[in-house]
Structure 1
Amino acid sequence: MWDTVATVDGKVTMRGWASFAWADDGEFLVQRADADPPADDTPREWIENSPFPTTSVIGYDDGSKIFTMLYSDHRGVLRVYGMDVDGSTWRIWRAAEGFNQRFTASIAPDGKRIDAYWEMSKDGLKWSKDFDLTYTRN
């Protein structure tokens, strides 16, 4: 289990948790995440657009050497992402007209902390940071 904290411009916008568990004898990895109730000073926009709870199922393509992540959330959003892990760098990406996304994370050497950020782009060329996300193993 992991504690998660999302920040925008250094301000905490979400605290929650994430879990990762193998399914089907290690064929797939299932990620589940949820958020604690929002603090009183959480921006209204963040509360209204909160995806939690979320579920993702991750599988590996031995031909392309790329992972695929199927994502779903309580809003009914369904997305397909590409994913890879190279050493201590974890990346997730999605190319979709009008709403491209990418996630870049650095995994601590001891494996107990992951520092990440999500970015978004309308055109796939000009990117802006959406939020920072920290995972801490509890």
Structure 2
Amino acid sequence: MKNNINPALQELKQFIGAWEMEISNASFLPDANAVIKAKASFEWFEEGEFLIFRQGTKNSGTPWAIWFIGHDKDAQHYTVLYIDDQQSSRVYEMSFENSKWKMWRNAPEFIQRFTGEINQDKNIISGYWEKCVDGRNWEHDFNLTYKKAK
């Protein structure tokens, strides 16, 4: 592949590849000790114009989601379009600076944010999601870990 990567996405190339995902301590699961494991991957769309992030696999019985990541050259943050197995469509803002990965949305009915960090070897991302239903009080939603597949 030629280096046609959108200059606004260059810092995200370290994500490219296959990952193992683990969801734990999830408020939405009946058993708080349950762990969901699935495959995840980051890949370029059309040689680098956008980044596609896939979690889980459609029709596999496990939760799946697709994130379409782009960046307006005149905007401060990335824009992320999201869809999942529940047909929940969402739009997030995203930043990635100094190994810190953040995503957030401030929709009136459901405010949510993710905070994660990639380790020095760039092969583990550790993070968590929080939610806010009243516009003031944040609560833990779930932990999320990605490990680069070998």
| Shorter-chain TM-score above 0.5 | yes
1:3 to 20, 24, 28: 20
What amino acid maps onto 1:83 in structure 2?
M
Higher strand residue share: 1
Task: State how many pairs are aligned.
Answer: 125
State the Cα distance separating 1:24 from its structure 2 match: 2.0
Residue by residue, what CA displacement relative to the aligned partner does 1:68-88 show, whole Å, maximum 9, x if unpaired? 000001211110000010111
**RMSD of equivalent CA atoms:** 1.8
2:140 match: 129
After the TM superposition, which of the residue ranges 11-20 and 128-137 deviates more from structure 2? Answer: 11-20
Give, in whole Å, the separation in 1 of the partners of 2:44 and 2:112: 25
SS of 1:136's partner is strand
Partner amino acid, structure 2, of 1:82: E
CA distance in 2, matches of 1:4, 1:25: 24
Partner residue, 2:50: 28
Residue deviations 1:8-57, cap 9 Å, x none?
1772431111100011221100011117x78xxxxxxxxxxx7x221110
Q: Identity of aligned pairs, percent?
A: 36
Further displaced range: 78-87 or 12-21: 12-21
Instruction: Choose which of 60, 77, 80 in structure 1 pairs with 2:91.
Output: 80
* CA shift for structure 1 position 95: 0.4
Specify the SS of the correspondent of 1:11: coil
